[in-house]
Amino acid sequence: MKLLIARPMTSAVEARARAEFDVEIRENTMPMSQQEMLSALAEFDVVVPTLGDQFSAQVFGDADKPRCKLLANFGVGYNHIDVDAARSAGLEVTNTPGAVTDATADIAMTLLLTTARRAGEGERLVRSGQWQGWHPTQMLGHHVSGKRVGIVGMGRIGQAIARRCHFGFGMQVAYQSRSAKDLDFPAEFMPQLQSLAASVDFLVLAVPGGAETRHLIDAHILEAVSPSAILINIARGEVVDEAALISALQSGQIAGAGLDVYEFEPSVPQVLCDMENVTLLPHLGTATEEVRSSMGHMALDNVAAFVAGRTLPNPV
């Protein structure tokens, strides 16, 4: 059984992969090219791909009777893989749910607090040497405690964010999801996204990417948002119509945004970089040593189950 891992991993994960499998670990940190994906499907039994590796219907169409039988994705989001096309080509797909939940919720709160309290702008001010000292009206931001947060996508990460907001900051929680949830904290289910958007101080996106959620946040929804509200996106860039968001920020239709992900990642529009009221992170959601190791182990658990002919722990 030949395994390809598409990116360098933490040392713990690489050590386990080398001990347990006949593995090749790609040294390049950039996404695989179409040609690399085709070669991987032809030459390996299992591939561990990740964000940016666009396993599209065309790639599976071009791969003639692929040797590869499992894509054990590193990451919970798998919108870069056309799962139906993979299945038609005889491949199974797994992901790494759960391992990423708390770290990603922490990054959502980092963005929420940083944007609301103007922490990025303040940090830039101190570093610039231009800070002239404290005064009662210096850099007034948005209060967070007790405010109303709207979570779009009340799944694992959405619930972890909601818990932090409720228990940590005394916030009122409202949410939209495909279905209402049985939760152990108070939260108002609002099935209409537009009504939710109109009712909150912070709108936090935690849905999966893909065709169903592309541009879920468009000009129409942004029009509904209060001019004092802040949008936080830790989901996928394509969930937000980035051009509409930029217009809404420029016109003051929305007060600010905290973004971990971008529609055309890693390209970030200069106009966003020039705005003081946005916080821009380089897709840091799961970026801790512990979490990346847990994700890697989870991906390898799926590989091990596949090799042993056992039921896959995390099929998508």
- Using the rule CB under 6 A, is 296 a contact of ligand NAP? no
Phi and psi at 35, nearest 5°, equal: -65, -40
Is the CB of 69 or the CB of 214 nearer to ligand NAP?
Answer: 214
Measured CA to CA, the distance from residue 215 to residue 19 in angstroms comes to 43
Measured from the CB of residue 76, what is the shortest distance to ligand NAP in angstroms?
4
- DSSP SS3 for 45: coil
Q: Catalytic amino acids?
A: 236, 265, 283
Amino acid, res. 91: L
Is the CB of 141 or the CB of 285 nearer to ligand NAP?
Answer: 285
Q: Which stretch binds ligand NAP (CB under 6 A): 9-17, 121-129, 194-202, 208-216?
A: 208-216
- Asked if 196 and 190 touch (Cβ cutoff 8 Å), the reply is yes
Measured from the CB of residue 88, what is the shortest distance to ligand NAP in angstroms?
22
| Cα separation values, 147 from 181, 203, 287, 306, Å | 21, 11, 28, 47
- Using the rule CB under 6 A, is 50 a contact of ligand NAP? no
Measured from the CB of residue 176, what is the shortest distance to ligand NAP in angstroms?
6
The tokens describing 72, both together, are 């054990």
- Using the rule CB under 6 A, is 261 a contact of ligand NAP? yes
Beta-strand runs (E) in 84-146: 92-94
Percent helix, percent strand, percent coil in the chain, to nearest 5? 40, 15, 45
Is the CB of 13 or the CB of 207 nearer to ligand NAP?
Answer: 207
Tell me if the bond preceding 266 is cis, omega within 30° of 0.
yes
Which of 2, 26, 156, 214 binds ligand NAP (CB under 6 A)? It is: 156
CA 171 distance to own-chain centroid: 23
Measured CA to CA, the distance from residue 118 to residue 112 in angstroms comes to 10
CA 61 distance to own-chain centroid: 28
Q: Provide the mask over 212-251, with x wherever binding to ligand NAP is found by CB under 6 A and - wherever it is not.
A: xx--------------------xxx---------------
Dihedral angle computed from the Cα positions of residues 163, 169, 171 and 173, in that order, rounded to the nearest 10 degrees: -10
Q: Which stretch binds ligand NAP (CB under 6 A): 37-45, 117-125, 183-191, 202-210?
A: 202-210
First-to-last C-alpha distance (Å) of the chain: 22
Measured from the CB of residue 105, what is the shortest distance to ligand NAP in angstroms?
9
The tokens describing 138, both together, are 């210096």
Q: Which stretch binds ligand NAP (CB under 6 A): 162-170, 209-217, 247-255, 304-312?
A: 209-217
Which of 66, 150, 158, 237 binds ligand NAP (CB under 6 A)? It is: 158
Is the CB of 3 or the CB of 221 nearer to ligand NAP?
Answer: 221
Measured from the CB of residue 154, what is the shortest distance to ligand NAP in angstroms?
5
Which of 102, 201, 260, 263 binds ligand NAP (CB under 6 A)? It is: 260
Which of 285, 296, 305, 306 binds ligand NAP (CB under 6 A)? It is: 285
Measured CA to CA, the distance from residue 301 to residue 307 in angstroms comes to 10
Residue numbers at the binding site for ligand NAP (CB under 6 A): 76-77, 97, 100, 104, 153-158, 176-179, 206-209, 212-213, 234-236, 260-261, 283, 285-286
